[in-house]
Amino acid sequence: MSNLMNRRILLGVSGGIAAYKSAELIRRLQDMGADVRVVMTRAAEAFMTPLTLQALSGHPVHNDLLDPEAEAAMGHISLARWADLILIAPASADIIARLAHGKGDNLLTTVCLARRCELAIAPAMNEAMWHNQATQDNLAILQQRGIHQLGPASGGQACGDIGMGRMSEPSTLASEVSHFFETGLLAGKTVVITAGPTREAIDPVRYISNHSSGKMGYALAQATVDAGAKVILISGPTALPCPDRVTCIHTSSAIDMYQSSMDHLPGCDIFIASAAVADFRPATIAEQKIKKTGQDTMHIEMVKNPDIVTAIANADPKPFVVGFAAETHDVIHYARDKLQRKNLDMVVANDISDTHIGFNSDDNIVTILTAESEQYLPKANKFQQAQRIIQAIAKQY
């Protein structure tokens, strides 16, 4: 099974004959579920055309640091924020030297400087260049900085030499990349996650709902699986595919989600309530479509829905309970009130008044609150935020 489902891999291609392997590597990563985008150096274009890698990845290839159109939106920064992992394959002796000395003179090195995600290199060069002391010193510097080295392999080289320096095969690299997303932080635990909106029916045609896309909850499910847990995802209506290795239970209304949550409470170690559950529902559901009667107003009597997270937090035995507070103002104040009032162990707060984050966005800014702490997580894509949230849960659990 793949750990790369929905993962964002930024593939850096530097100059070297092994650049031809990048085409197969893209396919291998995609077959394992990854979304792959490519940054090429100018030297790489001497060995592989950008059009080929664009066709394979399904995205435009990025290659110009000073592209006016891209940089108007700070393209190198947005690429760095987009990636869950940057993989440079092949990584030439030149690009390794540039990374070691903090160069930012091309798009690829600049993206690496701006990254917050993990960086891995797959060295590829002549065996004499590999053994050169300067190259080994540069690799030692990168290792000290936590940059991961994948390979190289030993064997015949394009120049006719035999020895270390061959880029690892694409299948090997793809397998090694998948292990970056296994943490083991919650190994053996059972985690129940609610996600998405609920729909409260008015009649057979209409319903009351909200703008939740479910992206945060689904990202949390993937990050929790990667942490080694058994994951049950109770989802309201979304357009998202069920994450790999996750048990998905599809619900519609708040009542449905409440019942499913209570059904899966026995044996639950951690409960993460990320769903945007409707607080109220229509008191009655019309059996037939409600027709216009010439009146200018329509009155619907509403009744309160059961509070899922409060019910879970007051169960005996109680799991570790994480709530979400999606607020439009006084975010931290309301989140801390929710933490205390509902007997939660942790609350993840975010400001949904900002249309660039939160509902329907791929990015988010959140603050994690416990009784003793407050941790601000700056803007990042939701998979990265999910990983950080799971790390915080594992630390508190």
Residue 289 assigned as binding residue = yes
What string of DSSP letters covers 281-325? EESS--SSPPPP-S-S-----EEEPP-HHHHHHTSSS--EEEEEE
Q: From the CB of residue 206, how many other CB atoms can be counted at a distance below 10 Å?
A: 15
Q: Is 338 annotated in some ligand binding site?
A: yes
Using CA atoms, how far residue 64 sits from 109, 176, 185, 360, in Å, is 11, 29, 39, 30
38 is in an annotated binding site: no
User: What is d(CA 194, CA 181) in angstroms, rounded to the nearest whole number?
Assistant: 22
Length of the chain: 397
How many whole angstroms separate alpha carbon 285 and alpha carbon 277?
Answer: 18
Measured CA to CA, the distance from residue 355 to residue 353 in angstroms comes to: 6
> Residue 189, annotated ligand binder?
no
Residue 348 assigned to a binding site: no
* Annotation marks residue 159 as catalytic: yes
Distance CA 192, CA 235 (A): 11
The residue type found at 231 is: V
Pick from 100, 275, 294, 311: which is nearest to 199 by CA? Answer: 275
308 annotated ligand binder? yes
| Annotated binding-site residue? 204 | no
Q: For residue 128, which phi and psi values (nearest 5 degrees)? A: -70, -40
- Choose the catalytic residue: 112, 117, 159, 242: 159
Residue 274 belongs to what H/E stretch?
A: none
Is 279 annotated as belonging to a binding site?
yes
How far is C-alpha 21 from the chain's CA centre? Answer: 26
Q: Say whether 280 counts as a known binding-site residue.
A: no
Q: Residues marked as binding for CTP?
A: 279, 289, 306-309, 324, 338, 342
Kindly list the catalytic residues: 159
Q: Residues marked as binding?
A: 279, 289, 306-309, 324, 338, 342
